A = this chain, B = another copy of it.
Amino acid sequence: MGKRTRIREILSASEAGVEAVVKGWARTVRVGKDVTFIALNDGSCMSSLQVVAGPELSNYADVARLGTGSAVAVTGLLVESPAAGQRFELQARTVEIVGPADESYPMQKKRHSFEYLRTVAHLRPRTNTFGAVFRVRSMLAQAVHRFFADKGFLYVHTPIITGNDCEGAGELFRVTTLDMARPPLVNGAVDYAADFFGQATGLTVSGQLEGELFALAFGDIYTFGPTFRAENSNTARHAAEFWMIEPEMAFADLMADAALAEEFFRYLCRFVLDHCREDMAFFNEHVDRGLLSRIEGVASTPFAMMEYTEAITHLKKAPVAFEFPVEWGLDLQSEHERYLTERVVGGPVFIINYPKEIKAFYMRQNDDGRTVAAMDLLVPKVGEIIGGSQREERLDLLEARMSEAGIAPAGLWWYLDSRRWGSCPHAGFGLGFERLIMYLTGMENIRDVMPFPRTPRHAEF
């Protein structure tokens, strides 16, 4: 097989007058007088390359009947294109029909709804929108690794199958090899001692606790892996399986944590603007007008910071009828978050120092005795996008919080150990990768930024 050149390279670097071998899929086929135009796309970029096939081809009759979606290999001469909007076209010397597609191909030229395309998630990567989504997703994953690698953070693979939190947590998927039709029972309860791992296990909801252990050995670490929620929520923002990025820094406090989150988030904004121009322009034009200027704004403006207590004051005097109540001690709802970032601040803002009752047991208690060193980053149009905290590094206070929260210390003995020997202040945060992609592409449904989304009653493909 002749070595192909990617269309991205051809369109960006080549000169007219050179021979090229291009392989890809026909997006459209248009038969003119004495000539057939094939818009050939190979997934390397949004643009298709126009292939011009003339009747001198030995298989011209077949080429003229080529269906949308066919795989073809073309050799030819790259020439300046007389058509508007494209630099080159390929004058075909040979067109090999590698894998045909007939009129039953489910993605003919007309526009399809995102809902329909979810039912053909195995084919939707061949469309403009999903090509762009998954190219941006891939670039962003590279950006995440590059950011942390450049800063000397260690990448750690925390476990997917976990024995933590497995007694009764509602949001956990159970993992088992027991015969589910006839599970071994002891006094009416499942005997997990007989299961594969000798205990009850489930799918992780976060790598943070294990990440902390590594931060307390390597200083600065991050995780980037799949996490799971068995939540029966059919919203546009929830999936049962999603990827999460969780950095953790030893010898760091809440301010260092916020500084890292800001640097990271602005880096990612800048990265897609710089490295995904064609795809981002597409989103800006077809999916979310204003996207580019919004992201440019976030990339270039320092973030604000506000105490939770101050945020409550702002919300209480807001000339807006909120659906949910506003009171010191209650959590902020999405409507509150958006009011703060969009109306009060007019840009990204960290809300810090939340009441301890509404935050997780591992967050560090502040000296006021009623708040913890938590931070949420709120951004316009979305609300919370990053959540983090300084962790409670003092063993006695951590044990007291666990006891208050009803968490048995026995299951987390190893986590407590990290505060027993060589403990130190440390902090980290979590960023949902799909939420990030939605924010940066304007795509509004989480199902449309994952290759094969898992949601209630959906695990196809």
Is residue A346 within 8 Å, beta carbon to beta carbon, of the partner chain? Answer: no
Is residue A458 within 8 Å, beta carbon to beta carbon, of the partner chain? Answer: yes
Q: Is the CB of B159 within 8 A of A199?
A: no
List residues of A (394-423) whose CB comes within 8 Å of B's CBs. Answer: 414-415, 417-423
Residues of B within 8 A of A210 (CB): 451-452, 461
Residues of B within 8 A of A138 (CB): 154-156
Once bound together, how far apart are the Cα atoms of A178 and B202, in whole Å?
A: 13
Stretch in A66-74, A76-84, A287-295 with 4+ CB within 8 Å of B = A66-74
Stretch in A169-177, A278-286, A365-373, A375-383 with 4+ CB within 8 Å of B = A169-177
Contact code string A130-158 (vs B, CB < 8 Å = 1, else 0): 01001101100110010001001011111
Residue among B196, B243, B251, B461 making CB contact with A173, cutoff 8 Å: B196
A393 to chain B, nearest CB (A): 7
Once bound together, how far apart are the Cα atoms of A4 and B199, in whole Å?
A: 42
Once bound together, how far apart are the Cα atoms of A98 and B421, in whole Å?
A: 10
Q: Is the CB of A251 within 8 A of B4?
A: yes
A346 to chain B, nearest CB (A): 31
Stretch in A218-226, A262-270, A325-333 with 4+ CB within 8 Å of B = A218-226
A306 to chain B, nearest CB (A): 22
Once bound together, how far apart are the Cα atoms of A185 and B26, in whole Å?
A: 48
What class of interface size applies to chain A in its complex with B?
35 or more
Once bound together, how far apart are the Cα atoms of A258 and B156, in whole Å?
A: 29
Known contacts A135-B154, A251-B1, A425-B1; A159/B414 CB under 8 A: no
Q: Is the CB of A454 within 8 A of B180?
A: no
Once bound together, how far apart are the Cα atoms of A241 and B207, in whole Å?
A: 15
Q: Is the CB of A178 within 8 A of B175?
A: no
Q: How many of these chains are in the complex?
A: 2
Q: Is the CB of A99 within 8 A of B423?
A: yes
A364 to chain B, nearest CB (A): 13
Once bound together, how far apart are the Cα atoms of A190 and B176, in whole Å?
A: 14
Known contacts A44-B152, A44-B218, A181-B189; A414/B454 CB under 8 A: no
Residues of B within 8 A of A199 (CB): 459
Can you name 14 extra interface pairs (CB under 8 A) apart from A69-B422, A174-B178? A101-B421, A121-B414, A131-B217, A137-B157, A161-B228, A161-B240, A173-B196, A174-B175, A175-B203, A181-B183, A181-B185, A197-B240, A197-B457, A198-B459
A-B contacts, 30 of them at CB < 8 A, read A1-B251, A42-B219, A69-B421, A99-B422, A101-B420, A105-B421, A105-B422, A123-B217, A123-B418, A126-B217, A138-B155, A141-B155, A142-B149, A145-B145, A157-B226, A157-B451, A158-B451, A160-B160, A161-B173, A176-B180, A178-B180, A180-B183, A181-B189, A181-B190, A196-B456, A197-B240, A198-B456, A198-B459, A210-B452, A225-B225
Closest 10 CB pairs of A and B: A43-B218, A125-B217, A99-B423, A101-B421, A198-B457, A197-B459, A122-B414, A71-B424, A71-B422, A138-B155
